[in-house]
Amino acid sequence: EWNQQRRPELLRLFETLVYGKVPEPPKPVRPTFQVRSEEKEALGGTAVRREITISFSEKPDGPRLDLLMYLPKVAGAARRVPAFLGLNFEGNHTIHSDPGIALARGWVPNNPDHGVTNHRASESTRGSSSSRWQVQRVLSRGYALVTAYYGDIDPDYDDGFQNGVQPLFYQPGQTRPAADEWGSIAAWAWGLSRALDALETVPEIDTRQVALLGHSRLGKTSLWAGATDPRFAIVIANESGCGGAALSKRNFGETVARINTSFPHWFCTNFHRYDGHEDRLAVDQHELIALIAPRPVLICSAAEDLWADPKGEFLAALAASPVYKLLGTDGLAVTAMPAPAPDQLVKSTIGYHIRPGKHDVTADDWNAF
């Protein structure tokens, strides 16, 4: 019943009422992949750095996603390695100070602290978010690290869906997605699936062992990508909050009305019906987590990040547990919310981690990942 009936029903509800479905395009969208650069002796000779460009249309100025990957050097050429895949907030060049990473090519958020005021990436932000990406540590543990800038898929501001990938899917005369069609989160999630398609062409990576991770709005995105694409082996949502792991009906921290007002482009238009009316929603976010079952999922909170409602994130993980158990796993191994502490991971198929501190991705979080 779960596989044939309830799961498809829940998926359709999330698709049509929350994130929006990927529309049928008038002509097939067939992304192409091209290796843009390769450095076999990156990071002091410890890794291979490769960049692959995914072009979503034949038009040279059409949307494209620049993937950056670091591959560990492993003995035995035939061995494929597992990988972490995650979108980044300000461009691939911000995740590490490596001068060989190409700067983001499109619109980026301004970062006045680093001198970015015209929405163009610059050298001044190289490595600016490196504390959130433990590149060397990931590589030394034998994993590849793959990332891409989310704004390449759809720049994160409300322009009525004129830029990004959505216009490729418009029927003649259509100017914006229909009420049940995708907002930006669903577009970013679709882009992650295309990134996974591109990884299928990378001989060093085992695409059956890709852990998808995302922080905050990109944690919401990871959960939706994991729900819609069963190829992602593990899904990690860090402080994903409202529209991510946090239960909407608790009405705690960020509410549906708040998120739809601040970010009118993130969800589908139908979701705006629930502004101030969470009680009317046919689904809640524990059912999103359940859509990923029985694949491992890790929900991470930060104690001071009340905007993202840590308790709501924990309760959603707990309420997803019956589906995980139905499907033969251990679900979530605790029933009471753990006290925030570093390195205290609830290590079951639904994992849960809460650390002290604020909204961020830290070395502690990476210990859990």
28: helix, strand or coil? coil
Cβ closest to ligand GCU, residue 248 vs residue 349: 248
Rounded to whole angstroms, what are the CA distances from 350 to 140, 145, 186, 254?
Answer: 26, 23, 23, 24
Look at strands 297-302 and 234-238 and give their pairing: parallel
Q: How far is the CB of 37 from ligand GCU (least distance, A)?
A: 29
Total number of residues binding ligand GCU (CB under 6 A)?
8
Residues 90, 254, 309, 364: which binds ligand GCU (CB under 6 A)? 254
Phi-psi region of 251 (alpha: psi -120 to 50; beta: other; left: phi over 0): left
Cβ closest to ligand GCU, residue 114 vs residue 231: 114
259 is a site residue for ligand GCU (CB under 6 A): yes
Active site residue: 216, 222, 248, 321, which one? 216
216 is a site residue for ligand GCU (CB under 6 A): yes
Q: How far is the CB of 101 from ligand GCU (least distance, A)?
A: 22
Residue matched to tokens 């079951």: 348
Please confirm, yes or no, whether 93 is among the known catalytic residues. no
Secondary structure (H, E, C), 200-268: CCCCCEEEEEEEEEEECHHHHHHHHHHHHCCCCCEEEEECCCECCCECHHHCCCCCHHHHHHHCCCCCC
Residues 217, 265, 295, 355: which binds ligand GCU (CB under 6 A)? 217
What one-letter code names the amino acid at 337? M
Phi-psi region of 164 (alpha: psi -120 to 50; beta: other; left: phi over 0): left
Nearest alpha carbon to residue 274 among 260, 287, 286: 260
Cβ closest to ligand GCU, residue 204 vs residue 364: 364
> What is the distance between the alpha carbons of residues 203 and 62, in angstroms, rounded to a whole number?
27
Cβ closest to ligand GCU, residue 258 vs residue 325: 258
Please confirm, yes or no, whether 359 is among the known catalytic residues. yes
Nearest alpha carbon to residue 147 among 162, 155, 157, 135: 135
Cβ closest to ligand GCU, residue 165 vs residue 256: 256
Q: How far is the CB of 153 from ligand GCU (least distance, A)?
A: 15
285 is a site residue for ligand GCU (CB under 6 A): no
166 is a site residue for ligand GCU (CB under 6 A): no
Helix (H) or strand (E) holding 95: none
265 is a site residue for ligand GCU (CB under 6 A): no
Residues 87, 242, 289, 323: which binds ligand GCU (CB under 6 A)? 242
Give the binding range for ligand GCU (CB under 6 A) out of 31-39, 69-77, 96-104, 254-262: 254-262
Instruction: Name the site residues for ligand GCU (rule: CB under 6 A).
Output: 216-217, 241-242, 254, 259, 262, 307
Active site (catalytic) residues: 216, 359
